[in-house]
């Protein structure tokens, strides 16, 4: 399970940006996956309960569950994921790695003229 960090524990510009995004996003964006799983379970129940309690045909289970699955997949695919508190330390580490890559000096040489000369060589 991911560890949840508080903004005081990870205080870098990257972490502050992540926590800013976290506070600006709607509550349901952070819990999108959990919400979709609960709705999928409710779709399954909507299919099985009429069969068990009202003697509906058995295919009702497959139709309700299949429709719920299709809707869940489409909603998950076409909605934007939210930011979670556990992203702050991961993005912070990634920013440090990228900063170190850019700070490393590259092997550079002075430009040398290789064109024609008047020295006769």
- For residue 60, is it within any domain? yes
- For residue 45, is it within any domain? yes
- For residue 63, is it within any domain? yes
Q: pLDDT grade, residue 111 (50/70/90)?
A: confident
- pLDDT tens digit string along 33-56? 899 999 889 888 888 888 888 888
- For residue 107, is it within any domain? no
- For residue 8, is it within any domain? no
How many structural domains comprise the chain? 1
- For residue 62, is it within any domain? yes
For residue 50, the enclosing domain spans: 13-90
Q: pLDDT grade, residue 1 (50/70/90)?
A: very low
For residues 50 and 56, is the Cβ–Cβ distance under 8 A?
yes
- For residue 2, is it within any domain? no
Per-residue model confidence (pLDDT) at position 78: 92
**Mean pLDDT to the nearest integer, 82-102:** 80
- For residue 54, is it within any domain? yes
């Amino acid at each position: 399970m991911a560890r949840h960090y508080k903004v005081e524990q990870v205080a870098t510009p990257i972490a502050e940006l992540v926590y800013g995004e976290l506070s600006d996003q709607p509550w349901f964006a952070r819990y999108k996956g959990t919400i979709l799983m609960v709705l999928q379970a409710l779709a399954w129940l909507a299919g099985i309960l009429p069969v068990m309690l009202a003697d509906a045909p058995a295919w009702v289970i497959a139709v309700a569950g299949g429709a719920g699955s299709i809707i869940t997949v489409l909603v998950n695919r076409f909605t934007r994921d939210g930011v979670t508190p556990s992203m702050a330390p991961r993005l912070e580490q990634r920013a440090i790695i990228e900063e170190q890559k850019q700070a490393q000096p590259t092997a550079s040489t002075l430009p040398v003229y290789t064109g024609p000369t008047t020295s006769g060589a």
